[in-house]
């Protein structure tokens, strides 16, 4: 558990451990150069922090905890960096000042055996889990309202998911026709993901359950932190819904 001054961790050993959890070769091609150790800091430390995103708030919290490594799911450096200003500067300034490492697990962790989508399936009580390319399908043990309660976020239901015996779940922005067709082939009655586009729903072969990106992916990072004995930083975006 953190912090433990008697347990000094080394970045090389932690990178090796994370490569076993989510091998880089399992990532999508679009993640090339955007995962792994993207900011290099000090070599040894006794606190590791974990969050879904590297935001100014999550980085400051990691600094306050004395972390030498912050592990996140989404890189803050997705586009090529030609200047360090504004939001990028607010993320990197405290990170660099603290000599902190930043490590990213993205689609390689989505596809991992015990990664983002497995954690989501466990949260929702799914059984007999089968892996898709970028998600899982499992048998429902909870009602739809029970699963929505577990997600603890605004949810929109597109179509009529009744009966709902088998659910496909894809953490993050997973509403693509290819994945929807794959879910149909695996016997799913409905599809849960985030950020549904109008045109995709119109062509969808399944009812779509739309939750928030954060609610679907943060359980995986929390589960990883618990498994590894790291500090988990919960930093959800501010969201207000109106009737």
From the list 188, 74, 197, the residue with the least C-alpha distance to 131 is: 188
Q: What is the DSSP letter of 238?
A: P
Q: Read off the pLDDT of residues 96-110 as tens digits, 9 standing for 90 and up.
A: 999 999 999 999 999
Q: Which domain holds residue 93?
A: 9-108
- Is 181 a member of any domain? yes
Query: Locate tokens 């919960």: which residue?
Result: 234
- Is 124 a member of any domain? yes
Share of the chain above pLDDT 70, in %: 97
* 126 plus 185 within the same structural domain: yes
* 138 plus 180 within the same structural domain: yes
* 175 plus 150 within the same structural domain: yes
End residue of a domain, out of 78, 108, 138: 108
* 141 plus 100 within the same structural domain: no
* 95 plus 185 within the same structural domain: no
Query: Locate tokens 């889990």: which residue?
Result: 129
* 153 plus 176 within the same structural domain: yes
End residue of a domain, out of 74, 108, 142: 108
pLDDT at 2 over 60: no
Residue 4 has a pLDDT of: 53
How many independent structural domains does the chain possess? Answer: 2
Count the Cβ atoms, other than its own, within 10 Å of residue 242: 3
Average pLDDT over residues 59-65: 98
* 126 plus 97 within the same structural domain: no
* 145 plus 80 within the same structural domain: no
3-state SS, residue 93 = helix
CATH label of the domain that carries residue 200: 3.40.1390.30
Structure tokens of 10?
């080394």
pTM confidence score: 0.93
Residue 1 has a pLDDT of: 47
Q: Read off the pLDDT of residues 158-178 as tens digits, 9 standing for 90 and up.
A: 999 999 999 999 999 999 999
- Is 71 a member of any domain? yes
End residue of a domain, out of 62, 91, 108: 108
Residue 154 has a pLDDT of: 95
- Is 126 a member of any domain? yes
Judge contact between 189 and 143, C-beta under 8 A: no
Residue 8 has a pLDDT of: 78
Judge contact between 61 and 42, C-beta under 8 A: no
Q: How would residue 7 be classed by pLDDT, with cut points 50, 70 and 90? A: low
* 124 plus 148 within the same structural domain: yes
From the list 52, 50, 191, 189, the residue with the least C-alpha distance to 110 is: 52
Residue 80 has a pLDDT of: 87
Residue 166 has a pLDDT of: 98
pLDDT at 198 over 80: yes
Share of the chain above pLDDT 90, in %: 93
pLDDT at 86 over 60: yes
Paired residues of 70 in beta bridges: 49, 102
Residue 6 has a pLDDT of: 52
Cα–Cα distance list, 112 to 33, 47, 78, 174, 193 (Å) = 19, 24, 21, 16, 17
Considering the chain, what is the average pLDDT of its residues?
A: 95
């Amino acid at each position: 558990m953190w912090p433990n001054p008697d347990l000094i961790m080394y970045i090389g050993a932690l990178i090796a451990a994370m490569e076993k959890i989510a091998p880089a070769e399992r990532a999508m091609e679009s993640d090339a150069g955007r995962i792994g150790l993207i900011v290099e800091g000090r070599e040894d430390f006794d606190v590791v922090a974990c969050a879904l995103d590297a935001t100014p708030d999550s980085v400051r919290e990691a600094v306050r905890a004395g972390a030498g490594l912050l592990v996140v799911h989404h890189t803050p450096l997705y586009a090529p960096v030609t200047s360090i200003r504004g939001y990028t500067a607010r993320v990197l300034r405290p990170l660099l000042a603290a000599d902190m490492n930043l490590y990213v697990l993205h689609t390689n962790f989505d596809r991992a055996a015990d990664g983002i989508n497995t954690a989501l399936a466990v949260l929702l009580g799914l059984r007999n889990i089968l892996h898709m390319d970028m998600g899982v399908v499992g048998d429902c043990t909870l009602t739809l309202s029970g699963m929505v309660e577990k997600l603890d976020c605004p949810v929109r239901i597109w179509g009529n998911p009744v009966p709902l015996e088998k659910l496909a779940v894809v953490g993050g922005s997973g509403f693509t026709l290819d994945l929807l067709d794959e879910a149909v082939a695996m016997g799913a009655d409905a599809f849960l993901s985030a950020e549904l586009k109008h045109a995709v729903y119109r062509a969808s072969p399944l009812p779509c359950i739309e939750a928030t990106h954060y609610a679907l992916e943060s359980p995986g990072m929390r589960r990883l932190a618990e498994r590894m004995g790291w500090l988990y930083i919960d930093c959800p975006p501010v969201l207000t819904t109106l009737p």
